[in-house]
A = this chain, B = another copy of it.
Amino acid sequence: MDVKPLRYFSEVARHNSFTRAAEALHVAQPAVSMAIRKLEAELELTLFHRQDRRVSLTDEGSRLLGHAHRILQAVSDAQLEMEELRGLSRGEVRVGIPSMLGSYYFPPILMAFRHRHPNLKLSVVEAGTGSLQQMLEAGSLDLAVIVAEQVPDELEACSFLREQMMVTVAREHPFARQADITLADFFAQELVMFPQGYFHRRVVDRLASASGWTPEIGFETSLLPLIKSIVTQGFGISTLLEMVLRDDPDLVAVPFSEPVWLDLSIAWRRDGYLSRANRAFVDFVLEQAGTEKS
């Protein structure tokens, strides 16, 4: 029992005519005759009562008609959804974004993506790089934004933005007048940091262990506005991505004397298939980053 013959059958039943059905189906009329004959042979039942030039459903035929409608409906539903998935008018993007980027870089991108593909469901999780990687590997996320240098083997990553980590101080702080800050100077200060598991913290820890200093962490929070507020009031200093500081009049961003650049990437499981929707999101992010640069 195949779909095409059932479609023919349904049309013949609808029109009570082979000729009319053939027209509606855009096939030659004998094709319809043969298809119905074959279906009848397959089922070993007479589906239509051919009386002179009048065609009508038999009892058995009308029983089949209900099934045929159900089947054709189900097929058409499937085709519709596949078409939607293909055309990105359906689908889901589940992406994880670290706090710092989620607050400063991504909002406009997310809005623009949503505008481009209004029917895609967009789930955004904000969490530290560590959690994001775990969620990615566990399959509860499809995509995550991470810092490129620490890409594990099982993830595939695509860098879309290179951004400098800047020492962040209040306007009144002595550092604010320096052209750059050495690691020694930086680590001599009391720091306000993200907790373990955030790329922010990882970067600083790496800088510390590479240079032999021990960071003195006076305050630890994953709330970026709180960090900024604390630094603004002079209770500590921090280091943040340049983008976070660009529009803040109360904070001063000073580069390290050996500039620290971070490659921000969007990553996914290497062995996992990216759905159309997710791939569209990756492409969109890369495209936005590209146009922004130029």
Band of interface residues on A: 35 or more
Within 8 A of B (CB), among A261-278: 271-273, 275-278
Cβ-based interface call for A74 (8 A)? yes
Cβ-based interface call for A230 (8 A)? no
Cβ-based interface call for A23 (8 A)? no
Complex CA–CA separation, A287 to B51 (angstroms) = 28
Cβ-based interface call for A64 (8 A)? yes
Cβ-based interface call for A77 (8 A)? yes
Between-chain CB contacts (< 8 Å), 26 pairs: A1-B3, A2-B4, A43-B82, A43-B86, A45-B82, A45-B85, A45-B276, A49-B271, A49-B273, A56-B273, A58-B273, A59-B92, A59-B275, A60-B85, A60-B275, A60-B276, A63-B85, A67-B74, A67-B77, A67-B78, A67-B81, A68-B78, A70-B77, A71-B71, A71-B74, A71-B75
Additional pairs, 20, CB under 8 Å, beyond known A1-B3, A71-B75, A71-B78: A45-B82, A45-B86, A45-B276, A46-B273, A49-B271, A49-B273, A59-B91, A59-B276, A60-B85, A60-B276, A63-B82, A63-B85, A64-B81, A67-B74, A67-B75, A67-B78, A67-B81, A68-B78, A71-B71, A71-B74
